[in-house]
Amino acid sequence: MRGESRTFARPFVPSALPADVVEAPHVVVIGDIHEVVGARLDADPLALRRDAARRGLTAVDLRYPYAGSLSDVEMGFVYEAVGAIDADLREVFGAGHGRLIDRYASDGTRSRWLPRIADGALIGVAVTEPAGGSDLDALRLRARHVEGGWLLDGVKGPMARLTEAAAFVVFAVTDAGLSVFLVEADAAGVTRQVTAIAGLGGWSFGELIFDGVFVEDAALLGRPGEGRAIFSAHFADWRAFMALVAVGAGEAALAQARRWARERDIAKKPLAQLPAVVERFGDRKLALDLARLAAQAALAAPVTERPDLAAQAKVAATEAGHAAIELAISVFGARGLMPSVGLDKRERDVRALQIADGPNDVLRAHLGRAYLRGAS
């Protein structure tokens, strides 16, 4: 399987966009990516995901029983390539948060859910709560053990994938500490409160309410009390992937601005020759390249070293991506704010990535604390 995936790897340039809008020749990704998303930029991400599933592309990072055809670093290329098109398409390929089922579920749950993920089912993750977003210690959604299973009560959100997910991986407080459960989206007692969001609005967003939701014992992922370790391992990979989505978005915006700056004359000279503009392009490109390296280094590192590396990469990449998009907007002048140019959406999406999956300020504070605790 691993060998096979390499035979259909190829350079990726989505056919529906001008080549220098999404110019990522260093990006080599799986098979038919551009056939799935390249020509259908306005399609709904879940429909594209089903399309990807028909080509076997939602199971590429599953280990069991699919033998994981793409490594984490290779999946990183996929996320970057998709981010260059539209950050809202970030989960068209791969298992997404379904990786939690692959890594931590019982055999029975795996054999029921992994084929569904391979068929395109989307898995949501529910950590955040109204009273405790950034702070795992503040979580209150409770799971109480009862005969044959668990009863969940509480509220999750604001969070994404409310109406699209087939199941949610839910972090809940138990007597043993933070624990993780798989809850089917249509389980009795689960309701939703959908709200609008200005960035990353490709998935629905809002609150998920659990009112006496029963799940069987087999729905537990890992062991009771392992929630923090599971969170840390999963979000290390996820943050590095989202870092690469931001790098892809920033690279695409920068390439779009480069094209414009070469064509646009200011005082009879191309904008691209103004020293202040040249320097800003150099600065933004440098930051994007370093952020990409940081994210790839995190994905290549042993799993024990990934959490801090991924936190660094996520901060660096979402800020580098955002700065590149801001430069692109200013290079385009008033046109940079026209929705038809696409930069305003990219800007909002990457801004949302600075908050989702651990706000940058929180990650910065964590990294600072770790450094200050370190040996002198």
Ligand X SMILES: Cc1cc2nc3c(=O)[nH]c(=O)nc-3n(C[C@H](O)[C@H](O)[C@H](O)COP(=O)(O)OP(=O)(O)OC[C@H]3O[C@@H](n4cnc5c(N)ncnc54)[C@H](O)[C@@H]3O)c2cc1C
Q: Does 272 bind ligand X (CB under 6 A)?
A: no
CA dist 357 and 86 (Å) reads: 18
CA dist 234 and 97 (Å) reads: 8
Q: Does 128 bind ligand X (CB under 6 A)?
A: yes
Candidates 47, 43, 37, 31; CA nearest to 16 is 37
Torsion of CA 337, 339, 345, 347, to 10 degrees: -10
Strands 177-184 and 167-174: antiparallel
- Six token digits for residue 53: 């599933």
Q: Does 322 bind ligand X (CB under 6 A)?
A: no
Q: Does 89 bind ligand X (CB under 6 A)?
A: no
Q: Does 367 bind ligand X (CB under 6 A)?
A: no
Q: Does 185 bind ligand X (CB under 6 A)?
A: no
- Segment contacting ligand X (CB under 6 A): 82-90, 154-162, 224-232, 294-302? 154-162
Among 121, 122, 125, 173, binds ligand X (CB under 6 A): 125
Q: Does 355 bind ligand X (CB under 6 A)?
A: yes
Q: Does 229 bind ligand X (CB under 6 A)?
A: no
Q: Does 362 bind ligand X (CB under 6 A)?
A: yes
Find the shortest distance in angstroms from Cβ 298 to ligand X.
Answer: 19
Among 126, 220, 253, 271, binds ligand X (CB under 6 A): 126
Would you give the binding string for ligand X spanning residues 195-214, x where CB under 6 A is met? Answer: --x-xx--------------
- Segment contacting ligand X (CB under 6 A): 83-91, 126-134, 146-154, 186-194? 126-134
- Segment contacting ligand X (CB under 6 A): 113-121, 139-147, 250-258, 359-367? 359-367
Q: Does 363 bind ligand X (CB under 6 A)?
A: no
For 310, other C-beta atoms within 10 Å of its C-beta total: 29
Among 29, 155, 261, 356, binds ligand X (CB under 6 A): 356
- Segment contacting ligand X (CB under 6 A): 19-27, 146-154, 314-322, 352-360? 352-360
- Segment contacting ligand X (CB under 6 A): 21-29, 119-127, 218-226, 318-326? 119-127
- Segment contacting ligand X (CB under 6 A): 83-91, 111-119, 159-167, 267-275? 159-167
Candidates 30, 108, 29; CA nearest to 64 is 108
For 27, other C-beta atoms within 10 Å of its C-beta total: 23
Among 127, 172, 257, 310, binds ligand X (CB under 6 A): 127
- Segment contacting ligand X (CB under 6 A): 75-83, 193-201, 290-298, 313-321? 193-201
CA dist 182 and 214 (Å) reads: 11
Among 160, 169, 236, 246, binds ligand X (CB under 6 A): 160
Among 223, 365, 368, 369, binds ligand X (CB under 6 A): 365
- Nearest residue to ligand X by CB is 133
Candidates 225, 202, 196; CA nearest to 83 is 202
Q: Does 152 bind ligand X (CB under 6 A)?
A: no
Residue closer to ligand X, measured from CB, 133 or 342: 133
Among 133, 202, 206, 336, binds ligand X (CB under 6 A): 133
Q: Does 299 bind ligand X (CB under 6 A)?
A: no
Q: Does 318 bind ligand X (CB under 6 A)?
A: no
- Six token digits for residue 319: 């800020």
The binding site for ligand X (CB under 6 A) comprises 124-128, 133-134, 158-161, 197, 199-200, 352, 355-359, 361-362, 365
